[in-house]
Structures are given as C-alpha cells and as structure tokens.
A and B are shown apart, each in its own frame.
Chain A
Amino acid sequence: MEKPGYWRSGLAIAVTAAIAFTACTPNPASPSTGPSASAAAKRGAGETLNILYWQAPTILNAHQATGTKDADAARLVLEPLASWDKNGKAIANALASEVPTVDNGGVAKDFTSVTWKLRTGVKWSDGSPFSADDVVGTYTYQCDETTAASTFDVCEGVKSVTAKDPNTVVVTYKDPQPFYFQWGVGGSTLILQKAQYANCLGTKAKDCPADQKPVGTGPYKVNAFKPGDNVQYDLNENFRDPNKPFFKHVNFKGGGDAASAARAVFQTGDVDYGWNLQVEAAVLKPMAQGSSVGNLVTVYGSSIERLVVNFSNPDASLGDNRGEPSTKHPFFTDIHVRRALAMATNRQAVATQLYGDGLSGKATCNILTAPEPMNSQNTTSLDVCKFDVAAANKELDDDGWVKGSDGVRAKGGVKLKILYQTTVNSVRQSTQAILKKDWESVGFSVELKSVPSSTFFTNTSPDGANHFWADIEMYTNSGDPDPTSYYASGWSTGQIASKANNWNFGNYGRYSNKDFDSIVDQLRKETDASKRNQLAIQANDLLIKDVAVIPLINRTFATSGIAKSLKGVDPSPWDSEMYNIADWSK
C-alpha cells in the first residue's frame, strides 16, 4: 500500500536544514543609542511593525535564551541598565539615567565597582513601580548557578549587585575588571521584574510560566506568544518616554529560511525587518541592490574569522600528552614556517568569492578590529599580511625546508603536513579549498577536516576546537567593547587549554609569549582611554607579526533587510539588533 511520503523526505530536509542553521554563527546581542527618530514621531502613530526571523523565538526571557532570536524578541519588552552603541560605547537609552564613568565618579578608579543611577518614575508594563530591588533581583536570579542561565558568563567575577537606595545600584567585582560594564550593559543583563520571578529562582527556573510573558519596562509588551511561531506585542502605555514607541503593534514572526526571508523584504515587501539574511552573496547582492522596497543593513564589529595556529603537538602517538602545552609542534614553533603559511594565505580571494567582498565580510589582517580606535593601522604594510607565494617559497627555502618528490617540503625528517579543521558549513569548506590550493603550492601538504558545529564548540569532543588535535583550525570569535578578556583568554599563557583545566580555557593554540602577557597585564590596570587604545593595538600587532593567529575575514554582524520606509534602525555589533526599537518609526 502506498503511503504519503512527506514524512520521510521531511526528516532528511530537517536534518540538512538544522546543520545549515547551526553552522552560521549567531551574533551576540547588545544595544546602543540610535539617532532619534524624526521629531514628529508620536506614540502609537504607526500601525503594525512586521519583523521576520527565520529562526523563531521559543522563549522571551533573555536569560534562558538559546539564541539571538530569543534575546532579540525579549529586547522589545525587557531592558538592560544601558545599551551598547555601534562604536562600543555604553549609552543611557535604558534604565540608567546616565552612563557611569571614572570622571563622574560612577566607576571606581581601580575598576572594582560601578555605581548606577537609575531613572526615576519608571513603571513596569503592569503599572507597578520599577526600583533598584528589581535589578538586584535579576542579579540574584541570573547569577545563581542552579538557575542555569545562558547569560551566566556576565556573572563571572561579579562579587555583588546591591541596592544603595531605590534609585542606585552598585555592581562590585571580585578583582579589578577593566570591562566594568560586563554586568549591566547590553543584552545579557536584561532586567526582570522581581515580583514576577519570585517563584522562579534556582531550580524552579526551568518551569517558569513568566518566561513566556515577561513583564518589562521596554517600549512594547507581550500580547500573545506562540513559542516557535510568533510573538505579538502591543505598545506599552507605561513606557517612560511619552512620545515612544511609534507602532501600536509589533508582529514578530519566526520560521522558514533565510532565502525566503530575503525575498519577503526585498521582493514582496511583506515584512519591514528581515533578520540575518545569510544567503549566498551571489544571490543576496542582486536581490538587495535591485529592490525598490528594501535595503540591506550591515554593521562591522569585532567578529573575526581566523586561523588558529597550534603551538603544541597534536600527534596521536603522544598518547596522554597529545596537545598538552608541554609538547612542541614539530614545525609551527618555527616562525619562518608560520610566516610562510601567512604569506600563502589569500584572504582577499576568500572575501571576494565567498563573502561578497563587503556584503557579509571583508578581508582583514587584524585580530582586533573594533572599537575603531583600537583597530590597528600598522598591519596592512606587514609582509605576513600580503598574499605573496614567491615570498612564502623564499622564506621556506632560506630556512632549509626542501621540497621532496611529492612536492611537500621537509627538513630533518619532519614534513610540513597540516591537518586543517573547521565546522561543517559551505562557506567554510569553500574557504578551506581556496587556502589549501595556495598552501600546497608552496610545499605544505594539507588535509581538510570538517566537524559539525555542535561538536566543534565543545570542550568534551576530541574533534573540538578546544582539544585542537589538528594543526590549523578556523572559526569566528568576537570580543567585548573592551578587549582585555578577548586577548587574555585567547592568547595569554595563563589561559592555555589543556587536560588539567578540562580544555575549558580559551587559548586553544597554546600560544605563550611573555611580551604579550605583559601587555595584557597592563590592560587590566590602565585607566587612561588613549593608552588603552595603544595597548590594544600593540597586542594586535604583536600577535600578527608573530603569526600566533592568522585573521582572515571581518564578518558583518547584523546582515538584515529593512523596508525603505522604516526609520531609526541602527544596529550595533555589541548589542541586540532590537536595542533601539523604541526609536524605530515609519
């Protein structure tokens, strides 16, 4: 008997789709102040704002979010103390009345505490008053390990969050924290109503009905939520700014795929905002450029696709010592080999062929590209940043690496054989293919490996980025507006991943350099902004000259389509794309 066949074929599609989705790195959520909408903008003057996310939100509490989609959908309702703007500066567009600085006394000189002044007269959407107690309540909820918040990382190193008075909150860190806005600014510290979450603390957090309908202070409130499908919001009459928000309703629809979301923005104009349109550049570019109804909006941040070089020995024959920091890589400890590899890396070809040359990414030779004052201008002239096969060959010739009959160079019985791993993702596999060709032409032998991203980004898998049992690995990572922890966890000696720390530390390449460590130490203490910028640039230049890492592509954060009639959208790479939705209008 024949039976309808959609069941079977469905699963195959589902699995492929799931792989394709997870392969794309979602960007972190963070806010900033946008240009204020036109002066004529009035509360409720617009009808419905249609937002389309091809991943549907499943929960509206950002602390339980499983992805950007959830954190973004929560951001219409919940607010942090302050948001991040596109330049990596904190802005007071949320619950704090001003941004604390060292100068105004809000930030302690030793970076151990921040005192936040809250706005007065703010009400929750249910009409009850907001106070410092709610902020403390959020901290208590979020930073209790048993709550299992997915935003727990911002609790790291926080000693306490206390209410000095109903309008003042003090955030205290255990140690000096140069990134003193870690707790309080951006999408990871959205403030929940204490009363609503009173019964959701700790282990009760996982069955909390409030997560479907949080009460917030933001411009909109949840009317109806169908997890995995859509959220309908209404204007919050208790929002503190009497002129905002502009729209009476917001319809936040989820599901489908990026390609048809792009069509809905650029071709049919069915939606006003289409999120994360990760479609092949060759398809997206003409669609966006030829559109009469929509524009493509992108913003660059610190999201860098990079090649991490392994300084330890991943040879399986070492047994328990495999990849331990005590071992030495057979040839990558030789600076000339690293330089040759860097010079044989054609990042421009990757940017042009795979990232639409500026559409979803551009070539870069900096490992820190933002905030802009920390973006080094010194690297473009470096030889290791220029694609030059001849120079790469010469570097290896001069260093005594001789090509054998198989075209692979060797010296003292050591062959330049590279295992190059990354996640399963069509763009990444194409990148691997482009780089492999050039590397092999200068005498490396390259074996490619790709691992599903769910396996790649775990500390438990031998195929993962953390174990790094390969020679080169490629992925994207990005930093905070303050680069200290990005540098420290990525390349400082104290953060080398090894079996002793369960491969949990972030220095996967097991790179160790005293000069670099000392720059990081200075970054931990320096309070002067311009000196901090210099230190950040020094650290970048050192890593690039020493070829501790080979940056490839500066990837865009938001790659969203917006209706030409929609005003006020100004995405920030450090915050949620929805951070300034109160300012959006038509």
Chain B
Amino acid sequence: MGRYVIRRLLIAIPTLIVISFVIYAILALAPIDPLSQFGADPRVPPEAREHIRHALGLDQPWYIRYVLWMKGMFTGDFGTSFMSHAPVIELISQRLPNTLAVVGVAYIVGVALGIPVGLISAVRRYSLFDHFSTAGAYVFFSLPTFFTGLLLIIIFGIKLRWFPFIYNSNLQVHDLDTLVRQLKQSIMPIAVLGLFDTAVIARYVRAEMLEHLPLDYVRTARGKGLMERFVVLRHVLRNSLIPVVTLVALGVPAVFGGAIVTEQVFRVPGIGELLVTSIGNGDIPVVSTVVFIFAVLVVLFNLMADVLYAVLDPRIRYT
C-alpha cells in the first residue's frame, strides 16, 4: 500500500508538469489579452500600452514566460497579478475563506442531506417520499444554478427583503448577531449549491442502495433476525457508501475551485469569482496559478479516493 501511494505520487509529478504546460499553452493560444481592459479606453495611447506590455514581460514568447513561471512555482513564488500588483497567493488566501464558507458549507449540507434522502427513497421505493425526492432531485439537478440563484434573489432579496444579495466579505463572525448576519447573507448561495449537491448525491445513494438491497447477504442478515434498521444502516448503507465516498472525495477539489456562476450571481468574492474576473482581465498569472492549484487538488483527491476505496473495501488490494 505504501509503495503504491509513493508510486502514484511520483507519477503525479510528470502528470502535473504536462497539465501546467497545457494550461499555459491554452492561455497563450486563447484570445485573452491582459491589455484588453485598456482596449475600450482610447485615452491609453498605443505607446503607453507598449510600455505596459514590456513591463509585464508580455513581449517575451510564451514558452519563455512558461519556464519563468514554472521556475517561480518551484521556489514557492506564484507570481504577481497583472491587475493588482499583489502576489497571487495573497489573492487566493483572501478569497479561500469566502469560498469555504459558502461552497464548502453547501457541500457539507449536500452530503448531509443527500445520503439520508437517497437512503429513505431507496428503502421506501415508490413511496410518496421517493416520488417527491426523485422529482425534486431531477429539478434541482437540471436547473442551472444561475437561474435558481436569480430566482432566489428576486424572491427573497428583492420582493421579500429577507436576505441581502450583496455578500459582505468583511463580516467577522464573533458573536450571535454576526453569525446570524453571516447565515443570512450566505443562505441563498448555500441553498442553491447545497440543493444541487443534494440532488446529485441522493440520486447516487439511491441507485447504490437499490443495487444492494436484493443481494444475498442482505437476505442472510434479515434471515438472522436482525432488525431492519441494522440491516439497512450497518450492512446495505455501508456497502453502498463505498462508491459514494469516492464521489464525495472527488468533489472536494471543486469546492476549492469555488462555484463560478453562483459566486458571480451572489457577489461572493471567492476563488471562482477570482478566476472568472481574471480570465476576463487576461490576468495570466492568476488564471494559471488558480487552475494549476485546482489540477493539483484533483490529482491528490483522485489518489485519496483510490486509497479510501481500498481502506473501505478489503477485497481491493493495491500492489
């Protein structure tokens, strides 16, 4: 097992180098221009643009810029944003708390709701609950988050005025009042994302459970005279959760990546929002670093999912 992990980690290095190269190459080929923000402003004359281009090092070929970027990465220097002249890592660390507070919580909500909902609808198959949850899951899974987000804003933010629709990232939670305010401002994005995650996970859990319920070992357990509750929770659910754990683990990097649309809609200044605006601004150091960190997380959590799989299922052995 230990050797397996080490081998996988070693394979990850060339993988990540290739990924970083692809990211940079795509950015170099993409029609994004860090100076595009100046584009619509006729007051910035062409020679000033040339100076800016030179100062940002953009007059060098992209492969040289790639090598410089990689060199920086190895020394822990993730570069400086073109737009704000701030270190990229600082921008990311400013935004990560917001992303975790919204997308992270939403994910936890999604898992916490998705598993019981999936379980109940599998056990009570074709019951009223099953019909409702299945229909609900399809609705929330199919509706794009930007639509449900806007819908919530119009209903709860504008018509009812229950919740603010401008996220205040400076709010420090230190007492009950600020906690309530934090909940109020994050409940809509959490609802939008959480319901989406719930839908995905509930569907998955339900399918897995249904696969396991008619199996022999379940009949054996029942035959032993175990209470139905134990059969379902200790035997069926536990076995059904194995692939779900993988699914949940693989979803974690997406949490760090933020929810691009939802963050945009609710003005949550998270990583996703940073990525979107940086793409719009052609802020290459920020885009490449955020995407690369995301790639690292995906690789790591893939490995973690595989390891977890072996831990949970003794039949699986890696050598």
Contact = CB atoms under 8 A, between A and B. Distances in A.
B51 A3 contact: no
Interface stretch (A6-14, A88-96, A412-420): A6-14
Contact of A7 (B39, B40, B41, B257): B257
B91 A255 contact: no
A67 interface: yes
Contacts of B120: none
Nearest to B153: A260
Contacts of A15: 279
Given A4-B196, A24-B40, A456-B39, A58 B279 contact: no
A270 interface: yes
B38 interface: yes
Interface in A151-168: 152-153, 156
A255 to B, nearest CB: 5
B94 A17 contact: no
A221 B80 CA distance: 24
Contacts of B254: 3-4, 6-7
**Most central of B43, B81, B86, B260 by chain A CB within 10 Å:** B43
Given A4-B251, A152-B51, A229-B95, A459 B46 contact: yes
Interface residues of B, number: 71
Interface string A446-477: 00000011111111000000000000000001
Interface stretch (A200-208, A306-314, A387-395, A510-518): A200-208
B52 A148 contact: yes
Chain A, interface SS category: mixed
B33 interface: yes
A256 interface: yes
Contacts of A10: 259-261, 264, 272, 276
Given A4-B196, A7-B260, A64 B276 contact: no
Given A18-B279, A229-B269, A152 B165 contact: no
B65 interface: no
Interface in B146-187: 146, 153, 157-158, 161, 164-166, 168-170
Given A10-B272, A14-B276, A253 B40 contact: no
Contacts of A227: 81, 83-84, 86, 91, 94
Interface of B: 31, 33, 35-48, 51-52, 54-56, 80-81, 83-86, 91, 94-95, 144-146, 153, 157-158, 161, 164-166, 168-170, 193, 196-197, 200, 203-204, 247, 250-251, 254, 257, 259-262, 264, 267, 269, 272-281
Interface of A: 1-4, 6-7, 9-11, 13-15, 17-18, 21-26, 28, 52, 56, 58-59, 61, 64, 66-67, 145-150, 152-153, 156, 188, 203, 205-209, 211-212, 224, 226-230, 232, 251, 253, 255-256, 260, 263-264, 267-268, 270-271, 423, 452-459, 477-478, 502, 504
Pairs of residues from A and B, 7 with the lowest C-beta to C-beta distance, nearest first: A10-B260, A18-B280, A454-B36, A148-B55, A227-B84, A229-B269, A152-B48
